Amino acid sequence: MQVSKKKQIILKTLAKKVKELRGQQSQFMLASENDISVSIISTVERAMKDPQTTTLFKLAEAFNMKTWQFVKLIEDDLPKDFSLIEK
């Protein structure tokens, strides 16, 4: 599988997790309360491009968790034995 296809799997998983954790809160409220632009939240939730590392940190904090916990939630939703590196 190509890296770009694998990257898309990660982005879609991230998008799903952000939508799930945001719940009923609007994108606007999540963004305004956590120093993230609405356009970035929208881009992440549509799996359009990789967020910056600082955005991942801000999202984790917005969801009251450590960054590693947030990344672990995403990782746990990836397909079993998922890897970006062909072995």
Residue 59: its pLDDT value, please?
A: 98
CATH classification at residue 35? 1.10.260.40
Residue 84: its pLDDT value, please?
A: 87
Residue 42's Cβ-side half-sphere holds a number of Cα atoms within 13 Å equal to: 4
Instruction: Let me know if residue 83 belongs to a domain.
Output: no
Domain that holds residue 32: 3-77
Instruction: Let me know if residue 57 belongs to a domain.
Output: yes
Instruction: Let me know if residue 72 belongs to a domain.
Output: yes
Residue 12: its pLDDT value, please?
A: 97
- Tokens representing 58? 């801000």
Residue 85: its pLDDT value, please?
A: 85
Instruction: Give pLDDT < 70 ranges for the chain.
Output: 1-3, 87
**Rounded to two decimals, what is the model's pTM?**
0.91
CB–CB of 85/9 below 8 Å?
Answer: no
Instruction: Let me know if residue 73 belongs to a domain.
Output: yes
Residue 13: its pLDDT value, please?
A: 98
Instruction: Let me know if residue 84 belongs to a domain.
Output: no
Helix (H) or strand (E) holding 80: none
